[in-house]
Chains A and B, each alone.
Chain A
């Protein structure tokens, strides 16, 4: 995974709560078997509306999404994270993220920064009053800066460390393979195996 330290880019104010992953990427795009090439799928239903924020300059060139509470709810589809990244987003700010979305972001190097709603409101105002204003997200100091607004953000220490170091999760876990093997030896025999297959 690519390291994430700090990022500066145009902020996109998305004044909406409960942006679920079906909105971020509708199910019809999930038929693909690739991990890239989802930029056209991002918010595809909303992008049909000319007044949607990503259809306006300079927001269409944005890379920091500033959204309302409960971002990424619903389906576990990691395609939502892939689509945001493929479009060019490097960070999403919200006062509350759905658990699975936040987890998926951390695995893919998209920074999900939890910012207090009051600060989100201030950033929204800044971005709306001066479209094109850049937002800086600094992972080392856990601060976000937009114009005169400087706000702290929350992210769990483990994800922060992995992002800063660009570490691969599976590689980290496999360092403990002996522990896994030892655990497996203790599993009770009444626990089911899928093989050999039994059917009714």
Chain B
């Protein structure tokens, strides 16, 4: 029978098929190839194991790092916040007790868990990957079935290396065409979410397909899969191809020699069969796509950057209308205001959505030789210690610092405002992260989700801007670029 990519990966991991058929079917028991652990959603799971006298079944399929709650300044000093320090210490103690590999703050492999897995080569095509974090969908960029889970499921995976899951439906997201300059993967996914809504992907695994997706780098594919959850989908996938293999080859945990050949042979089978049928399908035209930005308080409330703030009256559905009214009030925006007239206080470049080396390079290319709007604060938080080192080797840290941005240590940082990196009440932020929820980046903070290049252009002008809005960079900039 013809199968989609998601169905192939699912079927290859069924330990035990659930009894029954159709709507009455029991869940399947699926094997989990990789379990990523961090400090926030794991302590209660480890405690559960301890209380039940259970072991962690496969420490050799488990890896932990510290990211959500870590400071991005003074990382060599004890963490000032006592509760945070206790949580980090708890992870360290648990990893020691249960034999889990940990990359702690200060380690060269520490960083946002979804940046660390791929860069170590632990995320590979055809795997099942889980983590107590909804943005685990990121790893789907490799053709893995990757999903976020809650703490009870974290404990379940620790104890059994499996999950009980009901099969998902499948949705094809077809993106055909060529992106225009200044339009990125972030704009694709924001446009997809605006189109299908925050619940549109609920119950589905999304497969991103089409020429525009095939043309994307791995970093860009990760940006897209990362935000699948913002459309309600638990997972998003891209079929592996030569781009995937080129990224993987030579990574620390990538297969080598004959193992590599065997792996590639298998990975080549991981694509949706031509005659396979998706349960749903969505088309997006890459040729006409513009830089995208959110105006509201959920990731589906987005428009083209060249558009205006919508009016609640634009929405037919009563719930959407009420949500828009509430969002405009929270965001302090008036319907009809051009998005590009909106002034921001802060620009945040970071998060598991957009903190990889290509994101930093793209933003650096925009600001190189330009001046930051003096009223704007810009925070640059690399996704991992490794990305930070790589960026410094290329001199990107100097570009950001010369521009007047703060160059921080790796972590989740202002994406969720768990550590001290937060917005003040009423502050407005252009953020490359994934959620514009009320108070997400700090109590009363207002978030506009944007791509790295829009974030950079916004830092120059002080208002939401695309790179094409910028005056040509002074001549010295061109020289710097050549030198780099």
Q: Which A residues have a C-beta under 8 Å from some C-beta of B? A: 15-18, 20, 22-23, 26-28, 30-35, 45, 68-70, 73-79, 81, 96, 98-100, 103-104, 107-108, 117, 156-158, 169-170, 172-174, 176-177, 179-180, 183-184, 187-195, 197-200
Contacts and interface: CB of A to CB of B under 8 A. Distances in A.
A99 B150 CA distance: 11
A96 B199 contact: yes
B252 A200 contact: yes
Interface in B25-75: 26-27, 29, 31, 33-34, 40-41, 43-44, 47-48, 52, 54, 57, 59-63, 68-69
Contacts of A30: 40-41, 68-69, 418
B438 A188 contact: no
A103 B43 CA distance: 19
Contacts, number: 222
Given A33-B86, A189-B259, A180 B160 contact: yes
Given A158-B26, A180-B162, A194-B61, A27 B232 contact: no
B178 interface: no
Given A108-B152, A192-B122, A68 B319 contact: yes
A33 B149 contact: no
A170 B159 contact: yes
B134 to A, nearest CB: 4
Given A16-B326, A76-B149, 11 more contacts: A20-B437, A27-B440, A73-B232, A76-B41, A100-B234, A170-B155, A174-B160, A176-B29, A184-B31, A191-B124, A200-B119
B450 to A, nearest CB: 19
B176 to A, nearest CB: 28
Interface in B212-270: 229-230, 232, 234, 251-255, 259-260, 262-263, 266
A77 B41 contact: yes
Question: Taking chain A's interface residues, is the majority helix, strand, or loop, or is none over half, making it mixed?
Answer: loop
Contact of B134 (A70, A75, A170, A183): A75
A164 B101 CA distance: 38
A104 B254 CA distance: 33
B470 interface: no
A198 B119 CA distance: 12
A172 B26 CA distance: 13
A115 to B, nearest CB: 14
22 contacts: A20-B298, A27-B68, A28-B418, A30-B418, A33-B47, A33-B90, A34-B44, A74-B435, A75-B435, A77-B40, A99-B203, A104-B152, A107-B152, A108-B152, A117-B319, A170-B54, A187-B31, A187-B33, A190-B260, A190-B263, A195-B59, A199-B108
A73 B61 contact: no
Contacts of B280: none
A32 B69 CA distance: 11
B202 A96 contact: yes
A45 B438 contact: yes
Contacts of B251: 200
**For the complex of A and B, 5 pairs with smallest distance between CB atoms:** A107-B152, A104-B150, A78-B150, A33-B43, A198-B252
Interface string B126-163: 01000011100000000000001111110110011110
Contacts of B326: 16
A31 B83 contact: yes
Given A69-B319, A193-B60, A18 B166 contact: no
A22 to B, nearest CB: 4
A159 B254 CA distance: 38
